Chains A and B, each alone.
Chain A
């Protein structure tokens, strides 16, 4: 990972020095080694702040949307899932391909800090990729963790580890995993088998936890309306009240608004302070769309239309 960090710094320096980009969006070490934070690098002499390791989880794509007054190109570091978020923004007309310089980094999987031994703040942790495992240089000595155990769920079933679009690739391309729909949608299939009352009870226990912080919306590269329906005062489609029925409407609405547009980056799940399995809704929609209208993987190609943005005369007919 040290080598990748070096290469990223070199590339960022080159881009900034030549004036190709206005700034580079990347990650820098923060208080805790497990939580690097997004950083904007504007000067070539600052590039040494950039780091790269399996804790660089945040999707930076959303920052492209937040920067409303782009003056020049923006350099952005993107994993496979992040690059799909960038494609989402391009396809939605929020940014143009020319506005970004994508520094693609093929991803060998992230590490979930919750599945690792805690480290004290301020202690750096070097990580090396070893194929099916990572070796971590922890204060107590080196530790090897298997990817199958320490990766977040979204990485276990990731079949787009390589950036789908990029201007430059740092590191070696990764062999994508072969993921069957059964494996990808396993938790959805399990939940679908429940009886209606059991489903209702399950989701009520989930929606009961929601505090309506809207972090899932804020982090989502597909949530790119200039004015969000949840912020509108008039008409106010969804009440601001926090209770199970209102939270249910909030979550169904959010899921439907990204239907056919969700790029499966899993940021909603990661960011949720109440550990609501938001992807279970997104995945359900992706599964149904695949079964009804043919498999589509949003954010994998430019100029694709979202599944609800067009129709086919021979779509399945159930509403006779």
Chain B
């Protein structure tokens, strides 16, 4: 496993660094003084952090199209490029939450359009299950999303980013534990 993964590692570290950076600015601008204050309401300048796993062949190209078409979408979403949505291990999603993401998106080609023929069919099975399990252990339904976004759907990508950001803003920060932070 470890031999074939340098690329993924790099992406992941970048994403984590991004998250960490955001955390620091947040702290500098005045973190809530007490845990009670934190649980009551997020800080006024709080912005959700959303990690998006985008498949190289469809969703990443779709996001690119959104950019080149000058479609505005919230900068809260940070993309991590993966070769295929089938590459996304539920472990990545859990780890993203653990590292401070408020929501996670897994996006890939529409079923039937996979560059590797069948990768996203496995993604679909896996995440239908993961989504339900996350909800079962108390992670709000709005925090995990999976979407099919093709390379020509730049506007859909922007729309999805917008929708998720709005949902997560309504939910507030993801709290890892009642007494943590």
Size bracket, chain B contacts? 35 or more
Mostly, the A contact residues are: helix
Residue ID in chain B nearest A289 by CB atoms: B129
A residues 240-293 with Cβ under 8 Å of B?
243-246, 248-249, 251-253, 255-256, 259, 281, 284-285, 288-289, 292-293
Enumerate chain A residues within 8 angstroms of B98, measured Cβ to Cβ.
239, 245-246, 249
Measured in the bound complex, the distance between the Cα atoms of B112 and A143 in whole Å is: 64
Q: Taking each of B91, B127, B130, B137, which has the highest tally of chain A beta carbons within 10 Å of its own beta carbon?
A: B137
* Binary A-proximity of B117-152 (CB < 8 A = 1, otherwise 0): 010011011111111111111111100001110000
Chain-A contact segment, one of B29-37, B40-48, B172-180? B172-180
Let me know if B125 and A196 touch, CB within 8 A: no
Let me know if B177 and A245 touch, CB within 8 A: yes
Chain-B contact segment, one of A69-77, A111-119, A168-176, A308-316? A308-316
Measured in the bound complex, the distance between the Cα atoms of B125 and A317 in whole Å is: 9
Give, as a whole number of angstroms, the nearest-CB distance from A198 to chain B. Answer: 8
Give, as a whole number of angstroms, the nearest-CB distance from A268 to chain B. Answer: 16
B24 at interface, CB cutoff 8 A: no
Let me know if A244 and B176 touch, CB within 8 A: yes
Residue ID in chain A nearest B108 by CB atoms: A319
Of B95, B134, B178, which one neighbours A237 at CB under 8 angstroms? B95
Enumerate chain A residues within 8 angstroms of B179, measured Cβ to Cβ.
244
Size bracket, chain A contacts? 35 or more
Q: With A234-B2, A285-B129, A308-B125 in contact, is A245–B176 under 8 Å at CB?
A: yes
- The number of A-B residue pairs with CB atoms under 8 Å apart is 115
B residues 150-181 with Cβ under 8 Å of A?
176-180
Q: Taking each of A196, A200, A243, A259, which has the highest tally of chain B beta carbons within 10 Å of its own beta carbon?
A: A196
Q: Taking each of B90, B125, B146, which has the highest tally of chain A beta carbons within 10 Å of its own beta carbon?
A: B125
Let me know if B132 and A245 touch, CB within 8 A: no
* Binary B-proximity of A298-320 (CB < 8 A = 1, otherwise 0): 00000000011001110111111
Give, as a whole number of angstroms, the nearest-CB distance from A33 to chain B. Answer: 39
B residues 67-92 with Cβ under 8 Å of A?
90-91
Q: With A196-B135, A235-B5 in contact, is A259–B129 under 8 Å at CB?
A: yes
A199 at interface, CB cutoff 8 A: yes
B residues near A (Cβ < 8 Å) are 1-2, 5, 9, 90-91, 94-95, 98, 111-112, 118, 121-122, 124-141, 146-148, 176-180
A residues near B (Cβ < 8 Å) are 188, 191-192, 196-204, 229, 234-235, 237-239, 243-246, 248-249, 251-253, 255-256, 259, 281, 284-285, 288-289, 292-293, 307-308, 311-313, 315-320
